[in-house]
Chain A
Amino acid sequence: MFSKETLTVTRRTALLGATALLTLPRIGLAQAAPVDGGRLILIARPEPATLGLGLNLQAPTIYVGGKIFESLLTYSSDLAPMPSLATSWSISEDGLTYRFELRQNATWHDGTPFTSADVVFTADDMMRSSHPRWKLLAETYVERIEADGDFAVVFTLKEPFSAFIYAFELSSLPIMAKHVYEGTDYRTNPANNAPIGTGPFKFVSWNRGQSIELERYEDYWDETPAHLDQVTFLVIPDAASRETAFEQQIVDVLRPGDVEGFVARRLSEADDVIMTTMGEEFYAPHAFIQMNLRKPPFNNLKIRQAVMHAVDREFISNNIWFGMASPATGPVSSRTAFYEPDVTPYPFDIEKARGLVADSGLSGDDLKVTLTPLPYGQQWDRTAEYIAQQLTQAGLDVSIRGVDVSGWAQALSTWEFDLALNYTYQYAHPALGVARHYLSSNIIQGTPAANNEGYSDPEVDRLFAEAANSVDTEETQRLYSEAQKRLVDDVALGWIFEMRSPTIYRDTTNEVVTSAIGVMDTMKATWKAA
């Protein structure tokens, strides 16, 4: 059952080969055997608040923590599960039982052996209380989690859920040490600032405001431990300095977002620099305009259609994101399973947008809206300014609200917005990263990653629910395709682009992006030419 699904995914990815080829890393010099030793220097941006992975799911925590912690699985760039702390796994015919065989020689960085008890503690106790995504998943689908001996774990589901195999990625379920956390207040445990994991690198020191040091864990479970001696994360809050740091060869790798598209393009023009947009397939960040459907003008379909026509998604992708983005067509990323390309298109047509606004029957104060931008840097700022200008031309009266990250999160979490920019991770499967934005049961406050727009359609609810429970791939595809068509016709959100964020490094650094989570992964295979 499972292999079939993988096949579909692979075929779809092959179709996209044309785009992928353009961005495939240029292969470096003659591929010699990996060299051991050396220090890899990366950037922590912004400085993580904590390294307690699972308690904080912000990108810098995952970036640093990803070298220290592991989950049961990791995923190849075509989204096939690969072993990590689990050596193998099996799914029962009825789709209700997931069994994982675990590494028998893995140890925590303090020397304590890793066992099934750690997995059960993490999945059934710690993450159930502190990881909002896992909590929701576990409460909805998981009947029980049990150890079978010291090195096997069995998850039994309440109902079939085919996306469950994607729930074992690093940031979705990082395995934490039972002997460190059990019986403590997880959030104030000192290990959050001096983490103990099972990964290829162990924590050495954290010089606040400056750097975080990791070193190779010699007793790692893999017979070949990490190639690098050390991994250093420098704290560089300023974008221009990050660019200089890479140019002056202070820093080896720039992860997506460390520099903006404009700079990425220029840096990659150097002969010895490699740029790739691979390594984000699992997250497939998807950007959209969130419209508050609860009130005028966005409770009016014509206005929502006008928004889609007024915004030139090609222009945004090419001129604002400098090609590090690709126009989106609907709720599911073309890199995620079950993408449906055949949906109503909304070509750029400002005249049509104007006509739709005029036809909407709305005028005056009803057309007065605020846009809450996403305060994540220059490119997002430009995107907001461009969208505001375009919508003004279409006949809306748009003003931009000045917010910082907290203000943005607050506006979305409490539904106090008209228009807002947002993006979401898809987590490889619509049931994990997509449905949450449209299910009427997920119209909740307190998070910017739910159905904040207030979309409600019983038919879409049904389609998503059935698709999630289906164990038949073709049936699943049919259900998801129908859901996507309905959502696009309704313009539930204004999808703008799929991010194609670049990872940049010098050709002396090898094996930087090896999986669907790219640089977030352990980097145990990464090595530097001597």
Chain B
Amino acid sequence: MTYKIFLTRLGNGLLVLLGVAIMNFTLVHMAPGDPAMIFAGEAGGGDETYVEQLRQDMGLDKPLVTQFAIYAGDLLRGDLGYSFRNQRDVASMIVERIPATLLLTMTAFGIALIIGIVFGMLGGWFRNTLLDRGLMIVTLVLYATPLFWLAMMFVLLFSVRLGWFPPFGMQSVLVPDAPLDRLLDIGRHLVLPAFSLGLFYAATYARLVRASVINVSNADFVKTARAKGVPGGRILRVHVLRNAILPVFSLASVHIGQLVGGAVLTETVFAWPGIGRLMFDAILQRDYPVILGVFLTTGLLVILVNIVTDLLYRIVDPRIEHTAGN
């Protein structure tokens, strides 16, 4: 049953990926810039024969449809293409950046979940108290703060003024040898980027969790539990929490894509060696194969996350809880 659903979802996902490939391929090739000419210009200039030679080398002299056919054929063989600019295989360029981006986005996501759930539970449980109001104002402001601005302020405060955390990069220049020190070193570098990326989502989740806590507390099964004399803390943990987190799950799958998008900014400000920056550099250089490769990879990531959250959703389905409560 679940297995069959999983397969359908996977099939759908692959279809969507094909769409992503076509859409982005069309988009980037509609661009007015000629990559060969740009490449020549940066190399110090060249005459027309030089540019024409480059165009052939880059495979840009063929009709667009042929170019796509070649590209699609390569994709089917698992080949994301070749970056002429970087003289490297696109797949390997992306693969080496994935761990950094996963580390950053997953940490940010974790921070967002923890802060969001804690704030939301507190706000929802103690609703309309001073604590609730305070939390609401904090989340309202966080939700309205541009990510890049928050990042700038973090660096100014925690790195330049206080010197607590390094301002950029993922590792120190002299990477410590001991594995534990190495991990700590990366951890210290991770703090500022992860928080500046995660706080926006923390605010989102806090509001969501608060609303659903209020919603769930009014639900019959909670009222029943209360009437039965179950202690408040237990109700909060057992009944409310599980149900209140569900909407976060469904939103989270949408947010994975957004997080990767936000990583473009965070990774640029913090010199984090991830996919977001690879992408931004590629855009500035009109490195089409890399741009397309990043879109496909992140698309695949989003689809996989969607499937996983879907399965998780089934595991913690509210109806199961509901019947159990009754």
**A244–B160 CB distance below 8 A:** yes
- B contact residues around A446 at 8 Å (CB): 37, 40-41, 45-48, 50-51
- A contact residues around B169 at 8 Å (CB): 210, 234, 236
**A238–B168 CB distance below 8 A:** yes
Q: Does B285 contact A (CB under 8 A)?
A: yes
- A contact residues around B45 at 8 Å (CB): 132-133, 446-450
Closest partner residue, chain B, to A412 (CB atom): B41
**A132–B38 CB distance below 8 A:** no
**B47–A236 CB distance below 8 A:** no
Q: By the criterion of a CB under 8 Å from any partner CB, how many residues of chain B are at the interface?
A: 51
State the Cβ distance, B78 to closest chain A Cβ, in Å: 20
Q: Does B124 contact A (CB under 8 A)?
A: no
**B168–A245 CB distance below 8 A:** yes
- Contacts A241-B270, A406-B33, A446-B47 given; does A232 touch B42 at CB 8 Å: no
**Residue from A235, A410, A449 having most chain B Cβ neighbours under 10 A:** A410
Q: Does A237 contact B (CB under 8 A)?
A: yes
Q: Does A52 contact B (CB under 8 A)?
A: yes
Q: Does B102 contact A (CB under 8 A)?
A: no
State the Cβ distance, B157 to closest chain A Cβ, in Å: 13
Q: Does A14 contact B (CB under 8 A)?
A: no
**A410–B93 CB distance below 8 A:** no
**A444–B37 CB distance below 8 A:** no
Q: Does B79 contact A (CB under 8 A)?
A: no
- B contact residues around A39 at 8 Å (CB): 173
Q: Among residues 58 to 111 in chain B, which have CB atoms less than 8 Å away from a CB atom of chain A?
A: 84-88, 93, 96-97, 100
Assembly CA distance A309 to B87 (angstroms): 46
Assembly CA distance A444 to B45 (angstroms): 10
Assembly CA distance A47 to B96 (angstroms): 15
**Residue from B47, B160, B270 having most chain A Cβ neighbours under 10 A:** B47
Assembly CA distance A445 to B47 (angstroms): 7
Assembly CA distance A329 to B33 (angstroms): 34
Assembly CA distance A469 to B28 (angstroms): 47
**B159–A208 CB distance below 8 A:** no
Assembly CA distance A394 to B301 (angstroms): 55
State the Cβ distance, B167 to closest chain A Cβ, in Å: 4
Assembly CA distance A57 to B45 (angstroms): 10
**Residue from B34, B40, B169, B268 having most chain A Cβ neighbours under 10 A:** B169
**B167–A245 CB distance below 8 A:** yes
Assembly CA distance A419 to B81 (angstroms): 37
Closest partner residue, chain A, to B156 (CB atom): A240
- B contact residues around A55 at 8 Å (CB): 43
Assembly CA distance A193 to B93 (angstroms): 12
- Contacts A413-B41, A446-B41 given; does A210 touch B155 at CB 8 Å: no
**B268–A444 CB distance below 8 A:** no
State the Cβ distance, B30 to closest chain A Cβ, in Å: 14
- B contact residues around A52 at 8 Å (CB): 87
State the Cβ distance, A503 to closest chain B Cβ, in Å: 20
**A244–B155 CB distance below 8 A:** yes
Chain-A contact segment, one of B2-10, B177-185, B246-254, B274-282? B274-282
Q: Among residues 221 to 235 in chain A, which have CB atoms less than 8 Å away from a CB atom of chain B?
A: 232, 234-235
Q: How does the 8 Å CB contact mask read for B262-286 relative to A, with 1 for contact and 0 for none?
A: 0000001111011001100101111
Assembly CA distance A57 to B315 (angstroms): 57
**A240–B47 CB distance below 8 A:** no
Q: Does A187 contact B (CB under 8 A)?
A: yes
**B42–A58 CB distance below 8 A:** yes
- B contact residues around A474 at 8 Å (CB): none
**B38–A409 CB distance below 8 A:** yes
**A41–B273 CB distance below 8 A:** no
Q: Does B199 contact A (CB under 8 A)?
A: no
Closest partner residue, chain B, to A209 (CB atom): B273
Q: Does A414 contact B (CB under 8 A)?
A: yes
Contacts between the two chains (Cβ within 8 Å), count: 149
Assembly CA distance A238 to B285 (angstroms): 17
Q: Among residues 216 to 268 in chain B, which have CB atoms less than 8 Å away from a CB atom of chain A?
A: 268
**B273–A208 CB distance below 8 A:** yes
Closest partner residue, chain B, to A452 (CB atom): B45
Q: Among residues 437 to 451 in chain A, which have CB atoms less than 8 Å away from a CB atom of chain B?
A: 444-450
The 8 Å CB contact of A413, one of B37, B163, B168, B173, is: B37
State the Cβ distance, B32 to closest chain A Cβ, in Å: 7
- A contact residues around B268 at 8 Å (CB): 237-238
Q: Does A8 contact B (CB under 8 A)?
A: no
Assembly CA distance A209 to B274 (angstroms): 7
Closest partner residue, chain B, to A133 (CB atom): B44
Assembly CA distance A245 to B281 (angstroms): 21
State the Cβ distance, A25 to closest chain B Cβ, in Å: 25
**B167–A244 CB distance below 8 A:** yes
- A contact residues around B273 at 8 Å (CB): 207-210, 235
Q: How does the 8 Å CB contact mask read for A27-39 relative to B, with 1 for contact and 0 for none?
A: 0000000000001
Assembly CA distance A247 to B32 (angstroms): 41
The 8 Å CB contact of A406, one of B44, B270, B286, is: B286
**B47–A136 CB distance below 8 A:** yes
Closest partner residue, chain A, to B31 (CB atom): A406
- Contacts A237-B277, A240-B155, A447-B45 given; does A208 touch B168 at CB 8 Å: no
Q: How does the 8 Å CB contact mask read for A241-252 relative to B, with 1 for contact and 0 for none?
A: 100110110100
Q: Does A405 contact B (CB under 8 A)?
A: yes
Q: Does A481 contact B (CB under 8 A)?
A: no
Q: Does B152 contact A (CB under 8 A)?
A: yes
**Residue from B45, B170, B273, B286 having most chain A Cβ neighbours under 10 A:** B45
Assembly CA distance A317 to B3 (angstroms): 69
Q: Does A385 contact B (CB under 8 A)?
A: no
The 8 Å CB contact of A132, one of B33, B44, B85, B286, is: B44
- Contacts A238-B268, A406-B33 given; does A49 touch B86 at CB 8 Å: yes
**A409–B41 CB distance below 8 A:** yes
- Contacts A58-B42, A187-B57, A208-B273 given; does A244 touch B168 at CB 8 Å: yes
Q: Does A12 contact B (CB under 8 A)?
A: no
Q: Does B171 contact A (CB under 8 A)?
A: yes
Assembly CA distance A211 to B173 (angstroms): 8
**A241–B167 CB distance below 8 A:** yes
Assembly CA distance A410 to B281 (angstroms): 17
Assembly CA distance A41 to B286 (angstroms): 30
- B contact residues around A447 at 8 Å (CB): 40-41, 44-47
The 8 Å CB contact of B33, one of A207, A245, A407, A450, is: A407
Q: Among residues 200 to 217 in chain A, which have CB atoms less than 8 Å away from a CB atom of chain B?
A: 207-211
- A contact residues around B269 at 8 Å (CB): 238, 241
- A contact residues around B93 at 8 Å (CB): 208
Listed from nearest, the 10 A-B pairs whose CB atoms lie closest are A447-B45, A209-B273, A132-B46, A241-B168, A409-B41, A449-B45, A446-B51, A57-B44, A244-B167, A406-B286
Interface residues, chain A, with chain B CB atoms under 8 Å away: 39, 41, 46-47, 49-50, 52, 55-58, 131-133, 135-136, 187-188, 192-193, 207-211, 232, 234-238, 240-241, 244-245, 247-248, 250, 404-407, 409-410, 412-414, 444-450
Interface residues, chain B, with chain A CB atoms under 8 Å away: 32-35, 37-38, 40-48, 50-51, 57, 84-88, 93, 96-97, 100, 152, 155, 159-160, 163, 167-171, 173, 268-271, 273-274, 277-278, 281, 283-286
CB<8 Å pairs between A and B, sample of 26: A49-B87, A56-B42, A136-B47, A187-B84, A208-B97, A209-B100, A236-B168, A236-B169, A237-B268, A237-B277, A237-B281, A241-B167, A244-B155, A244-B160, A245-B168, A248-B163, A405-B284, A406-B33, A406-B285, A406-B286, A409-B33, A410-B37, A444-B47, A445-B48, A446-B40, A449-B45
Known: A238-B268, A410-B32. 11 other contacts (CB 8 A): A57-B42, A57-B44, A132-B44, A133-B44, A133-B45, A188-B87, A210-B170, A210-B273, A241-B271, A250-B173, A449-B45
